[in-house]
Structure 1
Amino acid sequence: MSSADFPTPAAVSAVPPKYLNTSALLLMALASGLCAGGNYFNQPLLHSIALSLDVSETTAALTVTMAQVSYALGLVLLVPLGDKLERRGLAVTLMLLAATGQFISGFSVSITMLSIGIIMAGLFSVAAQIMVPMAATLSDPGRSGRAVGLVMSGLLIGILTARSLAGLLSELGGWTTVYRVAGVIMLLVALALWRLLPPSRNPAQVSYLQVLRSMTTLIGRYPRLRSRSLMGALTFASVSVLFSTMALLLSGPNHGLSDASIGLVGLVGIAGALMASVAGRLADKGFGVTTSITCLLLLLLAWVCFWLGSTSLLWFLVGMLVIDLALQGLHITNQSVVLQLEPQARSRLNAVYMTSYFIGAASGSALGSLAWRLGGWHAICIVGVVLTLLAGAVFLYDRKLARAELKAI
């Protein structure tokens, strides 16, 4: 596909949108958190689901994979539509469909019905990834990083609190309660979004096939899309090495924590989610490079804390706080760079970046399992450090690309 098949930045002049206020951004943050968090409800409920639906825990655990795979498909197939369709209508429609999936899950009487609900909710929960570039598009250009950071903070807090809320509501009214409550709230928030957000559409008129094919064109056109996507994948892989194995350490003889206590440890990451907004503000002020360097160093520091945390819960908690701060700072800085490459292609750029990001997550989880089998917790820490150093090398390459772009102007 040639670049002529899809308008270049100079070829398309978008109508100046009405800038979003803080209330609208906060509502988008809430919506993003509900959508993304819904994919994690089932993780602490697998035992209850297995008992209720009369299936094995192994079968119930397959619903976790279903949620992840359907979300990945949504990233590739649905998020790019934000550059073709009217964005407000698309985001609200996807959110309504995700809410329908939550209701199906909440009233499931069989594992088949639950699977349909979880797949549907996962596929359409990518409404959250429509709203991230939408926040950048409809905000004051000088504050787009802040807008992206605020919406991402909501998304991340939703993910971090989803497991704890699911466990709490399950204790109060059974495992289906969280799905029913989430479905109702998502319907109300979707309607509020429709009333509050202004319509927004990319002026480029192209087919769906062109939208999908143009993603490969964007990858070839922008070296910094490739470098920042790879950097994001490596950093998320480093953190996923931790997330996929931390329960094995914390439940082991050195710490002996219960499942509920391990879930509470994850809530330390909420402080890291708040870093997303700070990182967005720093990017707006031109401190993206400094933020990236600082966060890469923090990521290395976190792994030192985890090494010490093999026998000290205090050091482990410090590591959790530092690694979430580092991950979110890097993630938002990466997105700030990527979303500025071609303003009218932000949904496709975000789809490319986020797909790479979650490929990194899956790879990190696999590496974590392998490292645990081969060398236990200290092997986990070594793998985390190596992935962080690789991300640092990619960052140095990205800096060369940025300097080359400045010279070419």
Structure 2
Amino acid sequence: MRDTNPSFTTALPPTLVWLFACAAGLSVANVYYAQPLLATLAREFGMTDAASGMVITATQLGCALALLLLVPLGDMLNRRRLTLFQLGLLAISLAALGCARSTAALLGGMLLVGLLGTAMTQGLIAYAASAAASHERGRVVGMAQGGVVIGLLLARTLSGVVADLADWRAVYFVSAAIACALLLLLWRKLPPAQPASQRLAYGALLASMLDMLLHNKVLRVRGMLALLMFAVFNIFWSALVLPLTEQGYTHAAIGAFGLVGVIGALGAARAGALADKGRAQWTTGAALLLLLAAWLPLGFAGTALWPLIIGIIALDLAGQAIHVTNQSLIFKDDSDAHSRLVACYMLFYAVGSGLGAIAATSVYALAGWHAVCALGAAVSLLALLFWRLTLPIEK
């Protein structure tokens, strides 16, 4: 089915922008609930610290499958109906994950949550980009992405608090209940989507993504920056739980460290507004320098609290500025392909996140926290060099 309502040609109402932001934040939270729980999951399911990274990797595999197979459907089907259907399946998957009794069931549940949580999140961002007028698209995407940032950061805190009050299974039962409540809200409030001007079969829809990757230079450059930046993110967040657990921090305390990164969400909309004004490259360069500098204070995670907090703020602010600027540039023109563009772009994210998670836990098991920080700094420097070398070819 296709939407038949007229497209949005004026500025979106603030309440609608907030709806997109909140829904995207609640959806993405499901992908990150496991991070403060890795040590607990490893003990219950008999995994080593290095192998515990497979929990995050399974989630990221689900993310990749969603980007390849589900997110592009937004350019083909009625976005409103598609969103509601996926959210219903997500609620069921979360409840099933809470009942997992074997490692295979755990990893399978994580894969499904990554699949459907990502489909919801990225579908909503593409929905918001298509609904926004061209002069406000960076700001609207920045607001939606700000919701995503807050969602993923609060996910770690909520996960830790619920796990301390009950157990890790309660985290996913609570999340299933939240998904059901969100389903009712979106059913009542989600507006009709802007219709596409052309109809593509599913096979042609997927094939067109390869053409985008081959011929869209901005997409390729910004995608590679996303891969490196999200590898950096997951190097830090996937490994942080391990030294903090060894120091006796509770799940809630570990999750609370994510709260200090909310400042990154506050900067996300501003980065999109700067991109709307033609300052995307300036924002990118400054953010990449900050991403690299963040690893100096993060190196003190095992010995001091305040340097760790400063480093988290810098890391999240830099990362979200890069992410929003990337999305603002690939969504710059009016297009019937916003769902496919975000799917292609986020494929780089999924690869980077998965590689970062498994590399971080493996390096920590071999050489400890300072080696993890050295790895994160090296990848951050690589991202900065890549941006500088590709700057002349990005149009």
TM-score by length of 1: 0.83
Correspondences of 1:48-63 after superposition (within 5 Å): 56-58=45-47
Deviation at 1:227, TM superposition (A): 0.8
1:299 CA displacement: 1.0
Change (3 A) 1:202 1:371: same
Name the residue aligned to 1:287. 279
Q: Which moved more, 1:189-198 or 1:70-79?
A: 189-198
Which of 99, 113, 123 is equivalent to 2:115?
Answer: 123
CA contact under 8 A between 1:215 and 1:348: conserved in structure 2? yes
Q: Is the 8 A contact 1:288 1:333 kept in 2?
A: yes
Task: Give 1:199's aligned residue.
Answer: 193
CA–CA distance in structure 2, aligned partners of residues 87 and 177 of structure 1: 31
| CA offset digits 1:343-402 (Å, max 9, x no partner) | 221111111111101211222234434544565444333332322222122222442123
Alignment of structure 1 residues 174-193 onto 2, 5 Å: 174-193=167-186
Change in 2 beyond 3 A, CA 1:250/1:167: closer
Structure number with the bigger relative contact order (C-alpha 8 A, sep ≥ 6) is 2
- CA 244–285 in structure 1, closer or farther in 2 if over 3 Å, else same: same
Structure 1: segments with no counterpart, 5+ residues? 1-13
Q: Counterpart of 2:226?
A: 232
Q: Quick check: 1:345 aligned with 2:334?
A: no
Q: Report deviation, 1:123.
A: 1.9
What are the residue-to-residue correspondences of 1:245-260 with 2, within 5 Å?
245-251=239-245, 257-260=249-252
Asked whether the 8 Å contact 1:148–1:277 carries over to 2, the reply is: yes
Contact 1:27 1:189 in 2 (8 A): no
Alignment of 1:219 onto 2:213: yes
Indicate if the aligned counterparts of 2:66 and 2:115 stay in contact, CA closer than 8 A: yes
Secondary structure at the counterpart of residue 344 of structure 1: coil
Identity of aligned residues (%): 35
Contact preservation (8 Å) 1:239, 1:364: yes
Q: Does 1:395 align with 2:390?
A: no
Amino acid at match of 1:134: Y
C-alpha displacement of 1:318: 0.7
1:147 matched to 2:136? The reply is no
Deviation larger for 33-42 or 221-230:
33-42
Give the partner amino acid of 2:96. I
2:23 is aligned to: 31
Partner of residue 317, structure 2 = 325
> What residue number does 2:375 align with?
383
1:265 and 1:344 map into 2 onto residues whose CA distance is: 39
Query: For residue 151 of structure 2, what is the amino acid of its counterpart?
Result: G
Q: Which residue is equivalent to 2:291?
A: 299
Q: Is the 1:169–1:178 Cα contact (8 Å) retained in structure 2?
A: yes
Give the drift of 1:174. Answer: 4.8
- CA RMSD, aligned part only? 2.9
CA distance in 1, matches of 2:41, 2:369: 31
Judge conservation of contact 1:101–1:119 (CA < 8 Å) in 2: no
Deviation at 1:259, TM superposition (A): 4.5
Alignment CA distance shift 1:174-1:320 (3 Å): closer
Whole-Å separation in 1 of the counterparts to 2:354 and 2:171: 26
CA apart distance, 1:207: 0.9
Q: Check conservation: 1:103, 1:117, Cα contact below 8 A.
A: no
Q: Deviation string for 1:301-355 (max 9, x for gaps)?
A: 2122224555432212111110110000001101111122662211111111111
Counterpart of 1:17 in structure 2 is 8
User: Is the 2:288–2:384 Cα contact (8 Å) retained in structure 1?
Assistant: yes
Comparing 57-66 with 387-396, greater Cα deviation is found at 57-66
Q: Confirm whether residue 263 of structure 1 aligns to residue 255 of structure 2.
A: yes
1:266 and 1:184, CA in 2 relative to 1: closer, same or farther beyond 3 A? closer
Contact 2:263 2:317 (8 Å CA) reproduced? yes
Structure 2 counterpart of 1:193, which letter?
Answer: L
Report the Cα distance in structure 1 between the residues aligned to 2:45 and 2:229, rounded to whole angstroms.
Answer: 35
Q: Which residue of 2 aligns with 1:11?
A: none
CA distance in 2, matches of 1:168, 1:116: 24
Is residue 2:233 matched to residue 1:242?
no
Deviation, 1:153, is: 1.4
Contact 2:60 2:351 in 1 (8 A): no
CA drift of 1:175 comes to: 4.1
2:62 corresponds to which residue?
70
Q: CA deviation at 1:98?
A: 0.9
**Who wins on radius of gyration, i.e. which is larger?**
1
Separation (CA, whole Å) in 2 of partners of 1:82 and 1:219: 18
How many pairs align?
A: 384
Give the letter aligned to residue 27 of structure 2. Answer: C
Distance 2:165 2:371 in 1: 40
CA contact (8 A) 2:164 2:251 kept: no
